[in-house]
Amino acid sequence: MASTTLTRAALPSEPELQSFARAAAQLLIDRQSRAPGARTIARRPGVGIQHLDHRDYAPGDEVRHIDWRQTARLRRPIVRRFESESVSDWILIVDASSSMAVHDAAKARAAARMAAALAYALLHLGHRVEVLAFGSRVLARCPRGRGQHHYAEIARLLAALEPARTGERSDLGVCARHVHGAASAFVVGDFLADDEMCRDLGALRQRCTALHAMQVSDGAETALREAGEFDLVDVETGSRMHAVAGEGANASASRKRAAMTSRLQSFCARSGVAFSDWDLNRPWQATLVAHLVRARLRC
């Protein structure tokens, strides 16, 4: 079977990004409690002194903020944006292990879309954003940056992500050394590991001010369409398991998957991790906004 490549077309369009950024704006303004002694310097669009970036003029903008040079070059009114007194750092962590590549990489494409939208919205508010893709090691990294120009770098990384179809294990712990200081971390993955990655999530929680976990679920994973006897192969470890497929086996697999999600959800509730389970049948926009609302209420 030909490998699936995540192209730019897999990422949300500019209108989708702008729509989500507007919907999520108030939910992403920094309001997290800080670790003792920590100090976050946050930058977001507002009235300040230091120049942040540019945007198109909108009715109500002050004329004194128009950048006449950019306006003349682009032939439309452009205004300067300035830093306000507070912004935070965010680290978006995307699972690129082999389990994300099954079923034509549907979960990998979905995770890339969600990470792209979240990065766009955060950058629009002036936050600094870093992106990590992990398997058994950090497979790709876009260092922290800010401003809308930084989104182009993040989009290139996410569009190029192509999880190996076999042999790439899940080890969220390899990202720990990149999570430090007064930063919020957001993990998107399927959390298919022996302990649902709870140990690694616990370690990350100790290194950041807030931690989010978005579990990507695909119902097709637990359904074999043909009855009979099969040898199932773990795409990450290569281990084999004999199985007899049928309606009963599919139902059993679904129950086991639900139990894993329940264990992960319980751990996150105990550990102060904002958790959501995202079935790919649901749109990413509504899922992500609902997650941010719940996380906001917990602050």
Per-residue pLDDT tens over the stretch 184-221 = 999 999 999 889 999 999 999 999 999 999 999 987 76
Taking only the tens place, the pLDDT of each residue in 242-258 is 555 555 556 676 788 88
The beta-strand segments (E) located in 42-87 are: 45-56, 78-83
Question: Which residue has better confidence, 47 or 156?
Answer: 156
Nearest CA-CA partner of 100 in 162, 18, 10: 162
Which alpha helices (H) appear in the chain, and where do they start and end?
Answer: 14-24, 68-74, 102-124, 148-160, 198-205, 247-271, 284-298
Helices (H) and strands (E) in the chain, counts: 7, 10
For 29, residues 6+ apart whose C-beta sits below 8 A from its C-beta are: 44, 125
> Average per-residue pLDDT in the chain?
82
Q: What are the structural domains of the chain?
A: 8-29+86-298 (3.40.50.410), 45-83 (no CATH)
Taking only the tens place, the pLDDT of each residue in 118-162 is 999 999 888 999 999 999 999 999 999 988 889 999 999 999 999
In Å, how far are 143, 205, 261, 263 from 258, measured between CA atoms? 35, 24, 5, 9
Percent helix, strand and coil across the chain, each rounded to 5? 40, 25, 35
Give the whole-angstrom CA distance, residue 107 versus residue 88. Answer: 28
Q: Are 218 and 103 spatial neighbours (Cβ–Cβ below 8 Å)?
A: yes
Query: What DSSP state is assigned to residue 25?
Result: G
pTM: 0.77
Q: Are 73 and 34 spatial neighbours (Cβ–Cβ below 8 Å)?
A: no
Among 76-80, 154-158, 284-288, the least confident range: 76-80
Which amino acid appears at position 228 of this protein?
Answer: G
